[in-house]
Structure 1
Amino acid sequence: MTQTLIEAQITTAKARSRLELGVHWRRLDAEAHLGYRKGKRSGVWFVRWRNHHDGANYKQASVGIANDINDKSAEGTLTFEQAVTQAREQVTRSRIEAAAHAAGPPPTVRTAVETYIRERNARDSRRAGREVRSDAGHRLRRYVLGQEKRGSQEAVQAAPLAAVHLHALLEDDLLTWREDLPVELKSTTRQRLISDLKAGLNAAWPRLSAEQKKLNPTFPSIVKDGFKAERIDDDDEISVARDNQVLADAQIGTLLRAAREIDDEQGYEGDLHRIVVCLAATGARFAQVRRMRVSDAQREEQRLMLPGSYKGRGGSGGSVPVPVGEDVIEVLLPAILGRPKDAPLFERWSYKQGAASMIWRKSERGPWKKAELTRPWHAIRDRAALPEAIPYALRHSSIVRGLRNRLPIQHVAKLHNTSVKMIERHYAKFISTALEDLARAAVVPLVPRHGENPVGHG
């Protein structure tokens, strides 16, 4: 592009409303630009860019529909800031792809795992003093690489993950692979398999050339965070939705009353009650709720913006909007009003024992830690006379409530920051019941009563 780019005012909905119909540009970098195409009814975002390894021609891709009403997050549309984020990600992926191919045949998950298996076999053979095959190799061939028919063992197809290029690896690739593993796989075998794959991918990184390291500097963090997110999602499978963990609304109300009583008795000053109310209202994981900020509680819109389960799982802007009632907003108000927007929404007091004293005193306020709900939860469920209820029962109940209220499975999955496959796998019984209710509502009388004329024959 030889002409100087003339940048337009497209950063706010108000500024875009004053523009003429047509295409307007904003610079992302020297050779990448965010485009806004204004139409008669609405505007759309798109991006164009130039790769350094495949010629001087510009490439172009759609980004999404513009939110031309206001500058707030809204499902199905993108603000300027969200469009910039997605456009930059698109450009980065394309440039990494082009550069990786220019550097030679790009390594894949398959090549990384095969190399790791050879190294493990060699190491185990040295230890045994004879040639042996490692258990890791057996697991990875069966559940990642695939294997031909051997004796009484049937042939196994390779997982789609095996063909993914390392420079293009995403956390969702790892999550999808995990979700596709057989349900009957023992939890210990499952964890060893995950550890094997993680080790194989991590071992591949030092072997990548200096050029490839430059192309994909986020690879180690993708592997690390991807398997972190898997451990969070494992809760969905370990805590399968047993009937006694799907609570009626009245039982949830009893738990919330008990939480308020335990909060008062143990001096939580409302902190315990608020976080349990949020878990019940959203069906979110404790790990998500702990990361919420004050700005995530949108009082006027009566919704909570839930952070996704680590990278790539949270929808637009990394968060999922969940509508809640006035009663929930009212409970959260003390944590919202007068506090900085970037402060943690849920905090609690930590205690410190004074020097040469047996007395514990309040030390400072801070966000909840990973296991801090365990102790008060035991008191809450005992008070509520629900001794088998676990905190995850609030999540199970929220998912089932959505299914019973005939929400689409895709919408239930998005609201709860999980996959349709997980919902179908672990809540099939409730899905079947909901579908039967829908079908029953469509039933009409067909057989005429004795002495009546059939419908349409007057």
Structure 2
Amino acid sequence: MPISARSYSYWLPLDADLDQAARLTVADLQISNRRIMVPTSKKGRGTKAQTHITIPLPDYVLARLRSLIAGRRGQERLLLRWHHKQVEGDKATGRLPEWERTERRPWSVASEMTRPWRAALTQAELAIDLVPYCLRHSSIIRGLQVNLPARLVAAVHDTSTAMIDKHYSAFITDASQPILRLASLTFAPPATAELHSLAAERTKKRGTANAAGQQTN
């Protein structure tokens, strides 16, 4: 996988931290169902009843991930990175020490993301001080802004509604304004055009009634 901003398109729809993404297997990717089964996080106490979270994937991510699973077994880790080893230099020939690729291994610690993350930010022309958690943060906000229930947003992000209410209550209120507006009462007077139309209709009815009265007399 090349180190680029596009590489992080894998992470964007997953709503997962590094540990969850690192534990993904080839079998977790369900191409026919257009989804991926993300392992639940290890945070918290006790054993969780749910082992995986269902995340639908957009077509562009499915297309890129499809190329990663060709010819691989279901229990293999889905996302891998190159492991490097340092080759000593040779003073006699003047060859300097260098790093060479050895094999692809699963991601393991957060520090492994430092260099590729900075490279991705640079390529995407984003602020260099952004952290990977921004992906999760923005995903939660997007869900609230399209009026997804807070409980659903919490579930797909493997967190609690209490956390959503505590840290994102402002976005819940803002995103709910269109819905709240539908439930509000309107006491505004009719528009001027509507008043003229009503007046004309009443005048017409009066004229018709007067004409009928004169014919009767």
Please indicate, yes or no, whether the TM-score normalized by the shorter chain is above 0.5: yes
**1:258 matched to which residue of 2?**
none
**1:309 matched to which residue of 2?**
41
Mapped pair 1:353 → 2:86: yes
**2:107 matched to which residue of 1?**
368
**1:283 matched to which residue of 2?**
15
Mapped pair 1:377 → 2:109: no
Query: CA-to-partner distance for each residue in 1:137-177, whole Å, 9 max, x for gaps?
Result: xxxxxxxxxxxxxxxxxxxxxxxxxxxxxxxxxxxxxxxxx
Aligned residues: 184
Gaps of 5+ in 1: 1-267, 454-458
Q: How does 1:202-217 map to 2 (within 5 A)?
A: none
Amino acid at match of 1:362: R
CA RMSD of aligned residues (A): 2.4
Taking structure 1 as reference, are residues 399 and 293 closer, same or farther at Cα in structure 2, changes over 3 Å only? same
Taking structure 1 as reference, are residues 401 and 288 closer, same or farther at Cα in structure 2, changes over 3 Å only? same
Taking structure 1 as reference, are residues 415 and 402 closer, same or farther at Cα in structure 2, changes over 3 Å only? same
Contact kept? 1:279, 1:395, Cα under 8 Å: no
Taking structure 1 as reference, are residues 374 and 395 closer, same or farther at Cα in structure 2, changes over 3 Å only? same
Structure with greater Cα Rg: 2
Deviation at 1:445?
A: 5.1
Deviation at 1:444?
A: 6.8
Once residues 272 and 293 of structure 1 are traced to their aligned partners in structure 2, the CA distance between those partners, rounded to angstroms, is: 22
Amino acid at match of 1:333: R
Once residues 307 and 421 of structure 1 are traced to their aligned partners in structure 2, the CA distance between those partners, rounded to angstroms, is: 21
Contact kept? 1:271, 1:347, Cα under 8 Å: no
Once residues 294 and 422 of structure 1 are traced to their aligned partners in structure 2, the CA distance between those partners, rounded to angstroms, is: 31
TM-score, L = length of structure 2? 0.76
Contact kept? 1:299, 1:329, Cα under 8 Å: yes
TM-score, L = length of structure 1? 0.37
Contact kept? 1:296, 1:305, Cα under 8 Å: yes
Amino acid at match of 1:377: W
Deviation at 1:385?
A: 2.4
Deviation at 1:439?
A: 0.9
Contact kept? 1:308, 1:315, Cα under 8 Å: no
Contact kept? 1:313, 1:417, Cα under 8 Å: no
Mapped pair 1:430 → 2:162: no
Once residues 385 and 303 of structure 1 are traced to their aligned partners in structure 2, the CA distance between those partners, rounded to angstroms, is: 30
Deviation at 1:377?
A: 1.1
Gaps of 5+ in 2: 91-96, 199-217
Taking structure 1 as reference, are residues 283 and 444 closer, same or farther at Cα in structure 2, changes over 3 Å only? same
**1:322 matched to which residue of 2?**
55
Amino acid at match of 1:345: L
Once residues 297 and 312 of structure 1 are traced to their aligned partners in structure 2, the CA distance between those partners, rounded to angstroms, is: 27
Partner SS for 1:279: coil
Taking structure 1 as reference, are residues 292 and 271 closer, same or farther at Cα in structure 2, changes over 3 Å only? farther
Amino acid at match of 1:343: E
